[in-house]
Each structure stands twice: as C-alpha cells, then as structure tokens.
Amino acid sequence: MDDMLTLSYRRAKAVEYAHRWAYFRNPDYMDAQGLGGDSANFASQCVYAGSGVMNYQSAGGWFYISPANRSPAWAQTQCLYRFLVSNDMEGPYGYSTDSKGVLEGDLVQLAFQNREFVHTLVIVMICGKPTPDHILVAAHSSDADCRPLSSYSYSAARFLHIEGVRSRFPV
C-alpha cells in the first residue's frame, strides 16, 4: 500500500455524470434494470466518473469490464456499501455517516418496509441544511434527477461519504 497515491474524489465529475445519464443509459455499460434494478450500477458509474480508478481484485473488488465480467460491488447495493467502507486498496473509499456528513457526489442507500438496503442514489445537490427535503438525488430504476430525498417512501436511509481515491498512478 505504500506505493499508492491518495487522490481527491472529483465530486463535480460525479455529479456531471449523474445529470447526463439520469434519464438515459450509457451504452458503455449494461442496463441492470431487468436484473433487479439499475441503481447501484448507475451509482457506480457516477463514482467511477469522480474517481477514475477501479479495483480489479477478483474477490472483493469494484470493477466493470463487460456485463459478464464485473464485480458484485459494481451493481449490488449491499456489496457496493461493503466495498466503499472497507476498501483499503486501489479505488474509491469512504465511510458511513449521517445526512450532515455528506456532500454532492456522495451516495444514499434506502431500505423499504424494514427490509435490507436495496436502492442507491447519488446526491447531486444540497440546498441549505442537509435534510431529506434539501438533499436532491439522481437515480436509476425509477429514473430521477434533482429529486428530493424526502419524496421517497423509505424505512431507513444510510449515507456514504466518499473520502478519496487510492491509485497506483496519477489519474
């Protein structure tokens, strides 16, 4: 790990990507809508736009090469969470926080009807205090851009702050 560079997460790039593709599908990536939802896949694309670095470890990594060659963390909400909060190798990393600890380009994951967290949203704007009424998100599955977090009916929310990016090379 000593040969790793610690880089800034480019939040503006992540948000720009989210706005660009919120209502469309980037043809460079699969559309996971038919596989249970596209929200984590879309969120990973946004985080990649802001980080520029994937983690190609076969076990526990975070990468997308093709629909048949991608990590579970790329397109599954729970796996994406585990990767981001535990990653100490190459790629983006972060930590779980509350709504006061997030910035634009960070993620929100929602649980519905007391179930596990199954939906991932990208924070694209915070208008004032970081409350559900003032946190605006972009998402796939139910495509949205600049949608207030408070407009979702959820039983629990967890917030993920992307702290930085580790890379072997400058990005």
Rounded percentage of the chain residues whose pLDDT exceeds 90 = 86
For 23-36, letters b (16+ CB in 10 Å) and e give eebeeebbebeeee
Top pLDDT among 115 and 13 is at 13
Residue-level pLDDT at 2: 61
Residue-level pLDDT at 115: 84
Whether 36 has a pLDDT exceeding 70, the answer reads no
CA distance 162 to 107: 8
Residue-level pLDDT at 105: 98
Whether 171 has a pLDDT exceeding 80, the answer reads no
Average pLDDT over residues 100-124: 95
Helix crossing, 11-21 with 39-51: angle to 10°?
Answer: 140
Count other Cβ atoms within 10 Å, centred on residue 39. 27
Backbone phi, psi, residue 96, to 5° = -75, 140
pLDDT category of residue 54 using cuts at 50, 70 and 90 = very high
- Average pLDDT along the chain: 94
Average pLDDT over residues 161-170: 94
Average pLDDT over residues 81-86: 98
